[in-house]
Amino acid sequence: MTPFSSDPALLRKLPPLSWLTQTQLRWALPETRHRTYPARTTIIRTGDKAEGLYIVLTGRLRVLHQDGDGHELLTEIVGPHEYFGELGLFDGSDCPVDIESDTACEILYVPRKVVLECLEDNARAAMNMLRTTVSRLCATHRRLGKLALTTVRQRVAMALLENVSEAHGEWRVEVGSEQLAAMVGASREMVSRTLKNLIEKGIVRRVRRKLFVTDRQALAEQIGRGDRPAPTGIGR
């Protein structure tokens, strides 16, 4: 962990530093630290105290709920120029999730006392952080609603469609089976069976360890199908 030395103009583009006044930025910069993490590193664990704010320069991180028995639920992906660690900053409560690097990451770390002092003196910055936090919580509630009210097949279809990118005329799925299972709140075995069925129907194909969507329309139709969800929702 080292002090961060770079052109302050670059930092003006990174929320929440971009919300600070020039005076606040000059004061906060010497307290800011540059950190690097390899892939698959747990940066914050459930139950940790909020010690500061983390701003992502490069890489991608996963926000996870885990039960200690190997089951996990992925609720958010955090990427470059986004931040995490804001929950608990204000009241000192424990972190409710694990934050894990999905790829190698470069991160700026701003201590809690610096963040709070800046927010207390900057209503615009405080409102921007509040809006971002509320937006994330609303997105999480929508995801949890989908988990409770849809079947595994429907959730897998939604996750596949939400995580494809076109390259050379093909629609490649950007997540693997393990991450897919965490996204939909189901066991890997259940997701594997669902993917096998989609592959047999010609909707999805697998090339080595990569998945490709071959019929997006048919996959979208899977979202409107499926058996009626059981009352417990995510355990099926």
* 99-128 mean pLDDT: 95
Provide the strand spans (E) within the chain.
2-3, 33-37, 42-44, 52-58, 61-66, 72-78, 83-84, 98-101, 105-111, 164-167, 170-173, 204-207, 210-213
Q: Is the pLDDT of residue 171 over 50?
A: yes
pLDDT tier at 35, thresholds 50, 70, 90 = very high
Q: Is the pLDDT of residue 26 over 80?
A: yes
Contact 234, 145 (CB under 8 A): no
Spatial separation of the C-alpha atoms in residues 49 and 51, rounded to whole Å = 6
Q: Is the pLDDT of residue 219 over 80?
A: yes
pLDDT > 70 in the chain, percent? 91
* 98-107 mean pLDDT: 95
Predicted local confidence at residue 11, as pLDDT: 74
Nearest one of 140, 136, 175, 169 to 156, comparing CA atoms:
175
* 77-91 mean pLDDT: 90
Predicted local confidence at residue 235, as pLDDT: 41
Nearest one of 103, 22, 123, 21 to 59, comparing CA atoms:
103
pLDDT tier at 230, thresholds 50, 70, 90 = very low
SS3 percent helix, strand, coil of the chain, rounded to 5, is 40, 25, 35
Predicted local confidence at residue 5, as pLDDT: 55
Predicted local confidence at residue 1, as pLDDT: 56
Nearest one of 38, 32, 37 to 14, comparing CA atoms:
32
Predicted local confidence at residue 8, as pLDDT: 64
* 151-159 mean pLDDT: 93
Domains and CATH numbers, the chain: 7-147 (2.60.120.10), 150-223 (1.10.10.10)
pLDDT tier at 55, thresholds 50, 70, 90 = very high
pLDDT tier at 147, thresholds 50, 70, 90 = confident
Q: The tokens of 99 are what?
A: 């934050």
Read off the pTM: 0.77
Contact 100, 64 (CB under 8 A): yes
Helices (DSSP H) in 66-187: which residue ranges?
A: 112-120, 123-149, 152-162, 177-184
pLDDT digits (tens, 9 = 90+) for 187-218: 889 999 999 999 999 999 999 888 999 999 99
Q: Is the pLDDT of residue 139 over 70?
A: yes
Q: Is the pLDDT of residue 32 over 50?
A: yes
